[in-house]
Amino acid sequence: MALPSTYADRNCSLARSLEIVGERWTLLIVRDAFFGIRRFGDFATQLGIPRAVLTTRLRFLVQEGVLDHTDGEYVLTAKGIGLWPVMRAMMAWGDEHYSPGGDKRTFRHEADGGRLDGASRCSVCGEVVPPADVTIEPGPGYDPDTANADPVSASLTTPHRLLEPLS
């Protein structure tokens, strides 16, 4: 699903990155992979994405080395995990400008419970925390009335660690 490159894009790594993750569904699939979703059916349920589109996007992400596909599960590679700072910054930007009730989700440093800012810096220890050490929970701006009622969505509202499979 790469967008056509233009001559002007060839010297810009942002343009190259957007060819991989610049499409809406693709970035949401990557987000859900960070949140612990691994199975095709769970991505389909959580995202409400047409299955044919999901198939294409997952295949592309595997081909680009963003996801690994083994034993029926899609798991972020080191390359995919490298997208975390971008994801976190975009969520924080959305919270700031489009979520008047406050953050939709709260991210914390597992080790000390400190809240993370948009750059994943911990309010307690001051470290920039890698995603494997981050827990996620519903924030003050989270509206349970607009969440899906399916089991996948329900498990996403329980505090859990990023990248760990949903139980």
Q: Which residues bind Zn ion (CB under 5 A)?
A: 109, 112, 114, 122, 124-125
Q: Which residue number, 80 or 131, has a Cβ lying nearer to Zn ion?
A: 131
b/e per residue 127-161 (b: at least 16 CB within 10 A): eebebebbbbebbebbeeeeeeeeebeebbeeebe
What is the nearest approach in angstroms of Zn ion to the Cβ of residue 121?
9
What is the nearest approach in angstroms of Zn ion to the Cβ of residue 124?
4
What is the nearest approach in angstroms of Zn ion to the Cβ of residue 163?
18
Q: Which residue number, 115 or 160, has a Cβ lying nearer to Zn ion?
A: 115
Q: Which residue number, 38 or 109, has a Cβ lying nearer to Zn ion?
A: 109
Q: State phi, psi for 62 to the nearest 5 degrees.
A: -70, -45
Token pair belonging to 74? 């899609």
Q: Are 131 and 84 in contact (CB under 8 A)?
A: yes
